[in-house]
Chains A and B, each alone.
Chain A
Amino acid sequence: MPLLQVRGLTHYFGGLKAVANFNLDLEPGELVGIIGPNGAGKTTVFNLITGVYRPTEGQILLDGHNLVGLQPHAITNKGIARTFQTIRLFKDLSVLDNVRIACYSQVRYSPLAAFLHTQRFREEERQTREEALRLLDIFNLRRYAQAQAKNLPYGEQRRLEIARALATRPRLLLLDEPAAGMNPGEIQRLMELIQWLRREFQLTIILIEHQMRVVMGICERIQVLDFGETIAEGKPKEIQNHPRVLEAYLGKGVA
């Protein structure tokens, strides 16, 4: 059974059709890329899947269960996490707290237990901290644990965002242009990191990316959007020479 099924997803901003009849079947463990020119509706698809917007039409099913209408945190708790095109860390908070906040729903103690500092509260807080530090270790961020997130170098901020997303214990990870603003060396390491994470955390991944090197290099399947419509889908090789894709990126007459 597919992990994620998106059926006929359509979304309007006022009169503007941002996403039209978007369909996607995602098997567990797949790594799928979504590409397309600016304004093609890629990030809107992420916002619809994660519940930031409610779709005008269409169905989104995770393990066959409907996600449409749930609040974003409820969707996150069902196992979908994401990163953002422009970094959205909790800037004034510490790196450690950025990750600990993402453990919010794993906490079982009541507010009263927090007031009274009960044994259970202390034990769960200790576990949360350990979990967060473990993730920071994986991303080589532990030495920044006490630093304010905004003071981290750009590449580290990107990694912290992924660490924070993983703290919610997702099965499906949505990465929104993770390579934006990175140099070739950093991009290479990012590609290795994504593939390693996928194995290590048994993730299914949807990747939005402009860097063709990343998309062509690691995605098994690619879906191309233009003006909200899916204009092509297939293996990287097929997409590279697809006439409608070339047209969308370069204009008519090229193909």
Chain B
Amino acid sequence: MNRRWWLPLILALLFLLSILLPHFGILNLYLQQVLMYVGINIILTISLNLVNGYMGEFSVGHAGFMAIGAYISSLLTVWVFPKSWGPFVFPLVLILGGLGAALAGLIVAFPSFKTRGDYLAIVTLAFNMIIKSVLENIEAIGGPRGFMGMSKLTNVAWVYVWVLITIFAIRNFVFSAYGRGILSIREDEVAAELVSVNTRQTKILAFVISSFFAGIAGGLFAHVLQFINPRSFTILKSTDVLVMVYLGGIGSIMGSILGASIYTILLELLRPLGVWRWVVGPLLLVILMVTRPRGIMGLREARWLLPAEEVQADAAVTS
């Protein structure tokens, strides 16, 4: 007996649409591109939300992890695999990019044992800058000129699938003992340890999972644009993701979906404003922080995203 039989149905229907609409040219290339950016930004936002929202740390270097995923996956599709294999090895390539980013996430997790708050923010900022500098200084992968030659392997359907994987992987994780451990770190780290939460273990998990999905987003991004350079992954890109996280609301997957969608589409709509549109984002953030500091969804979750068992059991408790 599944109370929510309609959810898989809708998700499957959307999957069909994500293949059919582009196939029959109902969505033009520009709209497809916007949709793909929305999806990629959703993945980035949810994954950053795990560290910044659920765990309550302040990582400002998310673009660094994205860069690692983007470069690893691009190098693999251009140098390692024959071009004709592209569509078949693409999922594997993305995962390898994600794993590379996850490894970097593991390294960043260690300073988080000893520092938190502002100091950890500086560590992640430094990490972002190091990644950019390293990429700029390796001539073999194009240095500051960037790297190209990727086929356009990313399409709307692939982005959709990865968005779903991200949503459900992180949802399932958050609603587990490990996820509750992450929440307890945000609430009171010392008390968490004293009620048996292995905070080092949970911090490692949070950083590794968060950076894995940032790496996936980077791989998808590289194969939409078919050109990447180190300047695409600076602190500015990280700031964009921060805006989307706090716009949508911390500790909420639905919030991240909304935040990423609204912000991405808004910036597209404001294209006629030229350079001025870059004022809108930060201004929006200021207004939001003053009027609704927890974002649109702040710490609340949409009902359809709660695990069925939780909803049923909760209903049983109160009745």
Contact = CB atoms under 8 A, between A and B. Distances in A.
Please determine whether chains A and B interact with each other in the same assembly. Answer: yes
A178 interface: no
Given A88-B190, A101-B192, A125-B176, A93 B197 contact: no
Given A72-B194, A77-B196, A111-B205, A104 B318 contact: no
B187 interface: yes
A165 B179 contact: no
B178 interface: yes
Given A92-B299, A93-B187, A111-B173, A73 B193 contact: yes
Interface in A201-252: none
B309 interface: yes
A168 B313 CA distance: 22
A188 interface: no
Contact of B184 (A76, A101, A107, A128): A101
Contacts of B197: 73, 101, 104-105
A51 B77 CA distance: 50
Interface in B186-205: 187-188, 190-200, 205
B177 A128 contact: yes
A82 B194 CA distance: 7
B264 to A, nearest CB: 27
B193 A117 contact: no
B61 interface: no
B87 to A, nearest CB: 26
B172 A90 contact: no
B187 A146 contact: no
Contacts of B195: 76, 81, 101-102, 104, 164-165, 167-168
A54 to B, nearest CB: 14
Nearest to B194: A72
A254 interface: no
A165 B194 CA distance: 9
Given A82-B194, A117-B172, A101 B180 contact: yes
A128 B318 CA distance: 17
A16 interface: no
B96 to A, nearest CB: 18
B181 A104 contact: yes
Interface size class of A (residues with CB under 8 A): 35 or more
B314 interface: yes
B5 to A, nearest CB: 17
Contacts of B27: none
Contacts of B161: none
A122 B193 CA distance: 25
B213 to A, nearest CB: 12
Interface in A121-135: 121-122, 125-126, 128-129, 133
A88 B183 contact: no
Given A96-B317, A101-B181, A129-B313, A115 B193 contact: no
A74 to B, nearest CB: 8
A189 to B, nearest CB: 24
B31 interface: no
B169 A115 contact: yes
Interface string A61-102: 000000000011100110001101000111111001100111
Contact of A101 (B183, B190, B205): B183
A191 interface: no
A142 interface: yes
Contact of B173 (A77, A103, A115, A133): A115
Contacts of A93: 180, 183-184, 187
A97 B180 contact: yes
B318 A90 contact: no
Contacts of A157: none
Contacts of A92: 187, 299
A139 to B, nearest CB: 15
A104 B177 contact: yes
Given A105-B196, A111-B205, A90 B169 contact: no
A73 B197 CA distance: 6
Nearest to A91: B187
A101 to B, nearest CB: 5
Contact of B176 (A51, A88, A121): A121
B195 to A, nearest CB: 4
B161 to A, nearest CB: 16
Contact of B196 (A73, A90, A111, A114): A73
Q: Which 8 A-B pairs have the closest CB atoms?
A: A114-B176, A90-B187, A72-B193, A102-B195, A107-B177, A88-B191, A76-B196, A105-B196
22 contacts: A52-B190, A77-B196, A81-B194, A88-B191, A90-B183, A90-B192, A92-B299, A101-B181, A101-B184, A103-B177, A104-B180, A114-B177, A116-B172, A125-B176, A126-B309, A126-B313, A133-B317, A145-B317, A145-B318, A146-B317, A168-B195, A168-B196
Given A92-B299, A96-B317, A97-B180, 10 more contacts: A52-B193, A84-B191, A88-B191, A101-B184, A101-B195, A103-B177, A104-B181, A115-B172, A121-B176, A125-B309
